[in-house]
Amino acid sequence: MTAADGTLPPATAPYLFHRHALAVRVTHWINALAIFFLLMTGLNIFNAHPMLYWGQYGANAAEGMDPAWLAIGSTAGADPRGYVRIGDVTITTTGVLGRSASKAGPPQAIAYPHWATFPSYRDLATARNFHFFFAWVLLINGLIYLTYSLFSGHIRRDLLPKAAELTSANIGHDIAQHAKLKFPKGEDAKRYHILQKLAYGGVIFVLIPGVIFTGLGMSPGMNAAWPLILDTAGGRASARSLHWVFANLILLFIIVHLLMVMLAGPWNEIRSMITGKFRVDPERAA
């Protein structure tokens, strides 16, 4: 309440709020490590054949069959250019995609640059070995997270949107606040808001299961044991395309997530995911 002289009462002292349980924090960082290596090894694997197709087989463009819907490459000639071709649209991407500097310095024709891949040189066998290892890490760690979250109520309490939150007015308001870089303060910062719930839920329940499912769809061993996976994905070529799409959506989420962490206050956000403690700075009464 406002005092008789019109002044505001003193703000309540800041305090630390226990925001993340130990299981959530540990599985978060293991997932971050696994996804980091999965993305970088995946780009190395993609470099071995930087084209994507739809259908059962693909890679038959020379015969006029299964043309690539996406290709990352480099032109030949005296002035080679890197490019990304999506359907009939070609975009010049020299210096980043298709043609970029090698570790030794001179430009090389390669889909993704050396600094974005693991290993940083072309090594399909090593990349595949690390990729499969961290795929199992992601799968097992994800199952541990889901088991904990279901039994502890974390999903129901923190991630599942309520009906009132899914209204167009509420979603529009949250979008507007983020666009203005106005993030929740005080007590309001203790809970996830609708955009956070939709983003985290989309990654946990759609993108990660999707990238695992399509990864299984590319495995000949899994195809033999469970052919339904390949049939559902629409064929091995389609599974590879969907795998790439899911992986890039995860990468986009990571970029936006890190940007939001930096804008919302990196020390407080990172501390809450390491120690579990989130600092709440109560606002003055308006």
Per residue in 229-274, pLDDT tens? 888 888 889 999 999 999 999 999 999 999 999 998 899 999 999 9
pLDDT exceeds cutoff 90 at 155 = yes
Percent of residues, the chain, with pLDDT higher than 90: 72
CA torsion 52-54-57-61 (nearest 10°) is -60
Reported as a single tens digit per residue, the pLDDT across 36-64 is 999 999 999 999 999 999 987 666 655 55
Per DSSP, the residues of the chain read ---TTSPPPPPPPPEEEE-S-HHHHHHHHHHHHHHHHHHHHHHHHHHTS-EE--SSS---GGGTSS--SEEEEE--SSS--EEEEETTEEEE-TTTSEEEE-TTSSEEEESS-GGGSSSSS--HHHHHHHHHHHHHHHHHHHHHHHHHHHHHTHIIIIISPPGGGGSHHHHHHHHHHHHTT----GGGGGS--HHHHHHHHHIIIIIHHHHHHHHHHT-HHHHHH-HHHHHHHTSHHHHHHHHHHHHHHHHHHHHHHHHHHHHH-HHHHHHHHHTSEEEE-PPPP-
9 class by beta-carbon count within 10 Å (0-12 exposed, 13-18 middle, 19+ buried): exposed
- Average pLDDT over the chain reads 89
Hey, where are the domains in the chain?
15-50+112-280, 51-111
pTM: 0.89
Q: Sorting pLDDT into bands at 50, 70 and 90, what band is 12? A: low
Reported as a single tens digit per residue, the pLDDT across 195-240 is 999 999 999 999 999 999 999 988 888 777 888 888 888 888 999 9
Token couple for 33:
């490590």
CATH number of 15-50+112-280: 1.20.950.20
Residue 9 has a pLDDT of: 47
CA distances from 21 to 17, 153, 160 (A): 11, 12, 17
- Taking the C-alpha atoms of residue 165 and residue 15, their distance in angstroms, rounded to an integer, is 27
